[in-house]
Chains A and B, each alone.
Chain A
Amino acid sequence: MKHTFSTPHRAALAACMVAGLVLAPLAQAAGNRGGGHGGGVHAGGGARGNAQVNHSRADVRTNNVRSTSVNNVNVNKNVNVNVSNNRGCCNNGWDNDYHPVATAAAVTATVAVTSAVIGSIVRVPPPGCVPVNYGGYVYQQCGSTWYQPQGGQYVVIAPPY
């Protein structure tokens, strides 16, 4: 039988993180969910279109993308000044639907303490969340807390706003 971490286990972990790391750098908070704590994501069906990606075993360092790492996938967007490229959200191209938790954290860490810890994972977002489309990707927004769908679960990200 495959062992997975139960939801209570994760909740306890999240509570721990809330208590201990409220003002800690968010990259570090994200780091605390590394090390395999996010197990139990369903792998989904075999067909390519249905298979779900499981990022739970990804090293936390993969989140630490530096700000100069702009992903250029279209020439004209990046070379022609009449096409602005000054948005706060969207240097990831269409291909990289990766939310830079740690990078955004550097900006937002001093601003506000959100009710859920960045990087914590829930199976279902709390009631009252609404889906929003930001930068082309769907998130669940619950007040100042943002959840990013990920492999059938939801991970709390640094709010883009």
Chain B
Amino acid sequence: MTRRLLLLGLLGLSLGAPAAYAQTAPANPVDPASVQALKDMGAQLQALKRFRVTTDLSGERVLADGQKLTHSATATMDVARPDRLRATMRSPRSQRVLYFDGTNATLYTPALKVYSTVELNDSLAGLVEKLENRFGIEVPLADLFVWGTPDAPLDKIESAMNAGQDFIGDELCDHYAFRQGNVDWQIWISTGAKPLPRKVVITNRADEARPQSVSLISWNLKPSFNDAVFRFVPPQGATQAQILAPKTK
């Protein structure tokens, strides 16, 4: 009797073991909870009415022989939904300021005192889309205005997983990893009261050197700016430059 129980026990162990340790890939590569985390974050982002957000970015470019060079840039954005934004972008060759007051978008380069203005009556998501598609201008942290809208569909994600937790600065974050097309991307979302993105890493798989960008994101949800910061007033001596639509490939 004892022996039989032992035998059964062993059998149970041997049968049970694979189940207990089976770290095989889940049947569905898209973890619904990870996608839900993106939805929650998107809803939170869209609910923020007035904020300042800054980002520190490292990007990579790949040389002909596969060697990679990393460059750095920073941006500070003052935002008032639904249609006000001022973004100050600094990268090695220039500092530029994008002003958007809901009617006009102006890109100003202070060092050259040159600005270009286009009429643009739209939301922030519309601003991002139109600057990109009409003029080839990418807005820093454009994702912040797109997540939580139909322009960021979540049904095309091919793989989604929870990658555990991590600290970004002092803040504990949930770490998620996604795959879609030739892009692998990761996001660190604050576990605090407001699920906001604190870090984004994007890996381009279309190049075998896999160039990557890393954006660290900081939030100020009680900013002190007023609405005047969104209006561009040309400084004395500034000249206006025509803005050219990029050539389509």
Contacts and interface: CB of A to CB of B under 8 A. Distances in A.
Contacts of B141: 74
A92 B107 CA distance: 17
Given A95-B59, A96-B59, A98-B61, A75 B183 contact: yes
B62 interface: yes
Contacts of A74: 138-139, 141-143, 146, 202
Nearest to B241: A131
B151 A80 contact: yes
B242 A71 contact: no
B124 interface: no
Interface stretch (B45-53, B78-86, B93-101): B93-101
Interface stretch (B17-25, B109-117, B219-227): B109-117
Given A70-B207, A138-B114, A90 B138 contact: yes
Contact of A80 (B63, B152, B206, B211): B152
A69 B210 CA distance: 8
Interface residues of A, number: 52
B248 A71 contact: no
Interface in B211-247: 211, 213, 215, 239, 241-244, 246-247
B71 A95 contact: yes
A135 B202 contact: no
B3 interface: no
Contact of A132 (B59, B131, B202, B243): B243
B152 A90 contact: no
Interface in B91-134: 91-96, 107, 109, 111-112, 114, 116, 129, 131-133
B204 A135 contact: no
A86 B129 CA distance: 14
A83 B248 CA distance: 14
Interface of A: 49, 52-53, 55, 61-62, 64-66, 68-84, 86-90, 92-98, 130-138, 149-151, 160-161
13 contacts: A69-B60, A70-B207, A72-B203, A74-B142, A77-B138, A79-B183, A81-B156, A90-B138, A95-B72, A95-B91, A97-B91, A133-B241, A149-B93
Closest CB pairs A-B (n = 9) = A95-B73, A90-B136, A69-B62, A131-B241, A136-B137, A68-B207, A89-B246, A133-B116, A79-B180
